């Protein structure tokens, strides 16, 4: 029988991969909590309208990448391709729009049908934060600074650069969009096919193009800074001043955009050259219209998401597994005492495993191979004396330890 394999674009997380993955999420969760973000968990399956409303019918995600289907009840549902929309839906669904701001952290799997490549899978994982209901420039800077702190805590900040831009307010963006469309129309025939389509449907998305022909044309395209209103410029300068106060280094990049109508003002990416072409590890911005798209009131919000797989690849070293203690009973009569010792150690927060079979020599060899730091040996003589022989598998030293003192002894 042919062995079954994972679905294309999906993968198993085992051993070092699992430890890297868990370390990214645990570190982000710890930092986010210190910064006042509370964890929410939303369903991986949502009403398809959550994403068609938020991402737009013409976006690549909606048109090409979503896992959408009709369930057995005839409802149109989608495996979430991102989680900002789900968090905004949850805010409205749970009646929390009267209790703002809400500061949210999330972690979990997302799904997109795209070509699998290094650091990108069809089931991938993201961490993210959202500050819902805060319009102040300081909220933008705090969200970015929290991301920077997470990158530092993971040891991946070196070689990672914050690139930031503003999309201005609606008046600024309208004027910029008009100037951009006029410029692109003059170069329409030289644009790639995808960019020509985007020009008609969502012109700002042309700025996202990775096509070299498009990039050459866009080098001379008008940018937002020539069209900012006084209010939008003052807000932009306040965000940068707050980032300076937080001690977050940045580089202004006027080509960073968010092509959806509900995005405004701050847009940013943390980028690195350590992952080849897939250089963005964290990205976000301000989205003051998304909660309203979910049926809620106008709610100014800002947030970001980061790919766990990409961050895991950047970790300077895989987190070491916790070295266990091997409990080795000698003879059937010793197994009850061994179970009691295992239970006491585990309740004390010590990783402990039973060495089930084989001679004492073979069990010690397996314990060493498994990376155990100590072996607790229990034979009939030891049990009669109320002790266990504890062997340090690194130094080879061995000592008799009273059974009721095992947790304290091994916790040191």
Domains of the chain are 16-169+229-314 (3.30.930.10), 325-411 (3.40.50.800)
DSSP string over 187-202: TGGGS-HHHHHHHHH-
pLDDT at 52 (0 to 100):
86
Which residue's entry shows tokens 């985007």?
A: 198
pLDDT at 359 (0 to 100):
84
Instruction: Tell me: pLDDT of 197 over 90.
Output: no
Q: Which helix (H) or strand (E) holds 375?
A: strand 374-378
Instruction: Tell me: pLDDT of 277 over 70.
Output: no
pLDDT at 68 (0 to 100):
92
Q: Could you tell me which residues are beta bridge partners of residue 270?
A: 162, 282
DSSP string over 224-274: GGGS--HHHHHHHHHHHHHHHHHT---EE-TT----STTEEEEEEEEEEST
Q: What is the mean pLDDT of residues 362-366?
A: 89
Residue 389 has phi, psi (to 5 degrees) of -85, 115
- pTM of the full predicted structure? 0.88
> Which of 198-207, 266-275, 399-408 bottoms out in mean pLDDT, i.e. has the lowest?
198-207
Q: What is the mean pLDDT of residues 82-91?
A: 96
Q: Mean pLDDT for the chain?
A: 91
| Distance of alpha carbon 191 from alpha carbon 194, whole angstroms | 8
Q: Give the residue, 210 or 323, on which the prediction is more confident.
A: 323
Residue 118 has phi, psi (to 5 degrees) of -55, 125
pLDDT at 60 (0 to 100):
58
pLDDT at 331 (0 to 100):
82
Q: Could you tell me which residues are beta bridge partners of residue 352?
A: 325
Instruction: Tell me: pLDDT of 57 over 60.
Output: no
Instruction: Tell me: pLDDT of 24 over 70.
Output: yes
The conformation of residue 45, written as its DSSP 8-state character, comes to E
Sequence-ordered list of residues with C-beta below 8 angstroms from that of 43, at least 6 positions apart, any chain: 80, 86
Instruction: Tell me: pLDDT of 119 over 70.
Output: no
Q: At 62, is the pLDDT very low, low, confident or very high (cuts 50, 70, 90)?
A: low
pLDDT at 59 (0 to 100):
56
Instruction: Tell me: pLDDT of 87 over 90.
Output: yes
Q: What is the mean pLDDT of residues 232-253?
A: 97
Q: Name the range with the highest mean pLDDT among 54-63, 163-172, 189-198.
A: 163-172
Percent of the chain at pLDDT > 90 equals: 67
> Which of 202-211, 325-334, 360-369 bottoms out in mean pLDDT, i.e. has the lowest?
202-211
Instruction: Tell me: pLDDT of 83 over 80.
Output: yes
| Distance of alpha carbon 311 from alpha carbon 191, whole angstroms | 33
Helix (H, G, I), strand (E, B), or coil: what is residue 113?
A: coil
pLDDT at 320 (0 to 100):
84
Q: What is the mean pLDDT of residues 42-58?
A: 83
Residue 112 has phi, psi (to 5 degrees) of -140, 135
Instruction: Tell me: pLDDT of 259 over 70.
Output: no
Q: Name the range with the highest mean pLDDT among 61-75, 81-95, 363-377.
A: 81-95
Q: At 17, is the pLDDT very low, low, confident or very high (cuts 50, 70, 90)?
A: very high
pLDDT at 412 (0 to 100):
66
> Which of 68-82, 123-137, 319-333 bottoms out in mean pLDDT, i.e. has the lowest?
319-333
Structural contact between residues 52 and 116, judged by C-beta atoms closer than 8 angstroms: no
Structural contact between residues 382 and 389, judged by C-beta atoms closer than 8 angstroms: yes
């Amino acid at each position: 029988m042919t062995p079954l394999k994972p679905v294309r674009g999906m993968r198993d997380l085992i051993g070092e991969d699992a430890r890297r993955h868990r370390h990214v999420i645990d570190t982000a969760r710890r930092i986010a909590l210190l910064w006042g973000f509370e964890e929410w968990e939303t369903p991986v399956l949502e009403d398809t309208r959550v994403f068609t409303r938020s991402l737009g019918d013409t976006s690549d995600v909606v048109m090409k990448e979503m896992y959408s289907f009709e369930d057995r009840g005839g409802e149109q549902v989608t495996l979430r391709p991102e989680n900002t929309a789900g968090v905004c839906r949850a805010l409205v669904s749970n009646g929390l729009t009267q209790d703002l701001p809400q500061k949210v952290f999330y972690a979990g799997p997302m799904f997109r049908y795209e070509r699998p490549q290094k650091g990108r899978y069809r089931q991938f994982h993201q961490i993210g934060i959202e500050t819902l209901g805060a319009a102040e420039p300081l909220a933008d800077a705090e969200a970015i600074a929290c991301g920077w702190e997470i990158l530092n805590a993971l040891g991946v900040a070196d070689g990672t650069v914050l690139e930031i831009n503003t999309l201005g307010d609606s008046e600024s963006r309208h004027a910029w969009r008009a100037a951009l469309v006029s410029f692109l129309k003059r170069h329409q025939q030289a644009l790639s096919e995808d960019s020509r389509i985007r020009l008609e449907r969502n012109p700002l998305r042309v700025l996202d193009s990775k096509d070299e022909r498009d990039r050459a044309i866009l080098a001379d395209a008008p940018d937002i800074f020539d069209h900012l209103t006084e209010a939008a410029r003052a807000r932009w300068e306040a965000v940068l001043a707050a980032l300076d106060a937080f001690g977050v280094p940045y580089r202004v990049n006027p080509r960073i955009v968010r092509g959806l109508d509900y995005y405004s003002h701050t847009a940013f990416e943390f980028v690195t050259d350590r992952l080849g072409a897939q250089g963005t590890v964290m990205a976000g911005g301000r989205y003051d219209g998304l909660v309203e798209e979910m049926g809620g009131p106008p709610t100014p919000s800002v947030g970001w998401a980061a790919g766990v797989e990409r961050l895991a690849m950047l970790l300077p070293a895989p987190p070491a597994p916790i070295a266990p203690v091997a409990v080795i009973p000698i003879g059937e009569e010793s197994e009850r005492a061994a179970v009691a010792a295992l239970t006491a150690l585990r309740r004390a927060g010590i990783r402990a495993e039973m060495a089930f079979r084989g001679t004492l020599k073979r069990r010690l060899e397996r314990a060493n191979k498994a990376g155990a730091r100590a072996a607790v040996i229990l034979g009939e003589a030891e049990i009669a004396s109320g002790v266990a022989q504890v062997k340090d598998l690194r130094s080879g030293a061995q000592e008799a330890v009273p059974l009721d003192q095992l947790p304290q002894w091994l916790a040191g």
